[in-house]
A and B are shown apart, each in its own frame.
Chain A
Amino acid sequence: MAGVTLDHVSKRYHTLTADGRPVTGLDDVSLHIADGEAVSVVGPSGCGKSTLLKVIAGLEMPDAGRVLFNDVDVTRWPAQARGVGMVFQDYALYPAREGEDNLSYYFEVRKRTEEEKARRVREVATLMGIGFDLLLERQVDTLSGGEKQRVGIARCIVRDPNVFLMDEPISNLDAKLRERTRIEIKRLIKAFGITTVYVTHDQQEAVFMGDRIAVMRAGRIEQFGAFDDLYFSPANLFVATLIGTPPMSVLPAVRRAETLELAGTSLPLPPDLAAELPAEPLRLGVRPEGWLLDPPGAALTLPIRHVERIYTERAAYAAGDLAGSPVHVLVPLDFPAQAALRIAPDWERSYFFAAEGEAALRVPGPPDLF
């Protein structure tokens, strides 16, 4: 096993994608992943997250910077020398072969003994759980998506990789199977304690799979930290709006003396907060749980467009628009149907951003739970 370090890695492509845009590379990316840590990389499509994975795997060579496994510089090492295992979105199982042959491919390529091959395949089949040996006997083209990905993961485990690399492994599965496979992968990662880099475009999946999360955009890492850091101390507006479901509401506002002008209403600010904020236009960010319902004193009136009840989470969200921006408010599950809602931001849980650009002016910071 190995810790992985990226040291000022850059990668530029000179090719264009099918629709004529330049392929996103990496722009001065530095990242340290501790031995045994699971890290999620999340970002919109085309942000360079797959390139990051390929640079770690050795499938792509960086133009500048270094890649280190446990302080060993592997930047110029070919993929097969790095001992990584990779799981792909489209499974990439070898065609016209049985599941078992897919697992033993590595041993055939490396000319290992038959006993070692058989022993490892058996061990992995046991680890993968009930019914897995049945999959091994079947031609891969007869397997369902979920079954294919289980074989794909087993193929990765069978050779004891230093680093586990997963490129959107469950994106092609349907919702129910996605949930199950997600838990399965999490279980395996925990069981092996292998350093894992998990790439996804789904922030909820990223939160679930990773001990820490790297948020990427346009070839750069915008922020790297635990979920609480990203959620309560986002580095900028992009990270703040990417993490969290439903997303944070962002409303234009102006501070005047001790009040905040917001959607035509003046809300009094606490004195310490008023002193911290510049007296100029800015943007207020409030998460669904950051609104006070029916507060005493000045309040905003949110016309309710619809209420979405999510019984599994024992919550409901009232949705509407304020000053042209969508607003989601966390309300009790037994929230009665009504046309409008009186709300005010909870200043303790509010985010402030500059009116231009994406700089964060003030964020609540992770809550002190203990």
Chain B
Amino acid sequence: MAVTAPVAPPPVPTAEPAAAAPTAAAQPAVRRWQVWAFVLPAILFQFFWGWYPMLVAIFLSLTNAPIRGQVTFVGFNNYARLLADPLVAMSFRVTFVYAGLGILLTFGIPILIAILLMEMPPRLIRVMMLLWFVPLSGIASTIFWQYMYNEQFGILQFIATEVLGLPPRAFLSNERWVIFWLIFPGILMFGPGLYYMTSLQSIPRSYFEAAEIEGASFWRKIWTISLPRMRPIISMSLIFAIIGSMQEFAFPDLMTRGGPNGASRTVVMYMFDILNDGRYGDATALSVMLFAVIMVLVLVYRRLVTDDPDA
């Protein structure tokens, strides 16, 4: 193979890098242009529908925010007015109870249900997954639940009085219980259960077999194998649940319109009411306040739940 060494013409090796150099230098420039071409639409979209409205909202919350006419800078007057408004404090209280109770009831229970479901025969698992995740129209299921809760003709009232023999109850018009009854459908709807079931399905069976040989009980297997393996997905969906439940609007608005006496009026619902009054400055200030509260919650959560290197 090395016989040709003396014959090898010297210009060729020098010519080759020289020819290669310009293309090597030209390529990154082309690539950079292409990179921007791909990224730009997303950046523009994010700017006009994400960052720009947010910055404008922060700015508007410091002004009188008229529909037309002179924009006047009013400092923190909007915030001061909101903080003095007892309905704002009430709506935050309702939101915290709604989000806290909602996460408690609709977040933990599906984890348990998913784990128990996976113990069933494979065919039944498939049927259950299908039944549980049949896509439902939000409005349709809301109307369905309005009927369920109807105090005269509702199915739940029928179950309470005729089946369980309890005195008739005012489901959505009871100030103490209205938030619970608004969350209740969420328990049955199974929340992020599909994520849990798929992450459970991805655990190799040998893990459970290894634990079984060592004599681990059912609950111990869940604690040492299922839950650690589900941890990343649980951690991620909990963040989404916190952000989402703090902005609850459509379902309670359609079901109760915030009643009775504002007992189910969340922050976003109150914001909507203020907007309807034409108080745009106050509404944006309230939305900035809600943004700050959610941000703090997420930061606290991230601090508490550190990212595990092996999670």
Contacts and interface: CB of A to CB of B under 8 A. Distances in A.
A54 to B, nearest CB: 8
B309 A139 contact: yes
A22 to B, nearest CB: 14
B71 to A, nearest CB: 55
Secondary structure at chain B's binding surface: helix, strand, loop or mixed?
A: helix
A80 B220 CA distance: 14
B224 A94 contact: yes
Given A90-B204, A90-B206, A79 B212 contact: yes
Nearest to A84: B213
B216 interface: yes
Contact of B225 (A95, A141, A167): A95
Interface string B113-148: 000000000100000000000000000000000000
Nearest to B210: A92
A57 B210 CA distance: 10
Contact of A92 (B122, B207, B220): B207
Contacts of B207: 92, 94-95
Contacts of B213: 57-59, 79-80, 84-86
Contact of A105 (B224, B229, B311): B224
Interface in A73-93: 78-81, 84-86, 88-90, 92
A109 interface: yes
Nearest to B121: A15
Contact of A95 (B214, B215, B216, B229): B229
Please classify how large the interface on chain A is, using the bins under 10, 10 to 19, 20 to 34, 35 or more: 20 to 34
B169 interface: no
Interface residues of B, number: 23
B176 interface: no
A96 interface: yes
A71 to B, nearest CB: 22
A109 B214 contact: yes
A308 B263 CA distance: 84
Interface in A292-317: none
B50 interface: no
A178 B231 CA distance: 32
A167 B228 CA distance: 24
Nearest to B224: A94
Interface of B: 122, 204, 206-207, 209-217, 220, 224-225, 228-229, 231, 308-311
The 6 closest A-B pairs by CB, nearest first: A80-B215, A141-B310, A96-B228, A92-B206, A88-B206, A92-B210
16 contacts: A15-B122, A57-B209, A57-B213, A79-B209, A79-B215, A81-B215, A88-B206, A96-B228, A96-B308, A96-B311, A97-B228, A105-B214, A106-B214, A109-B216, A141-B309, A159-B214
Given A89-B206, A94-B207, 10 more contacts: A79-B215, A80-B216, A86-B210, A92-B206, A95-B310, A105-B211, A105-B216, A109-B215, A109-B220, A139-B309
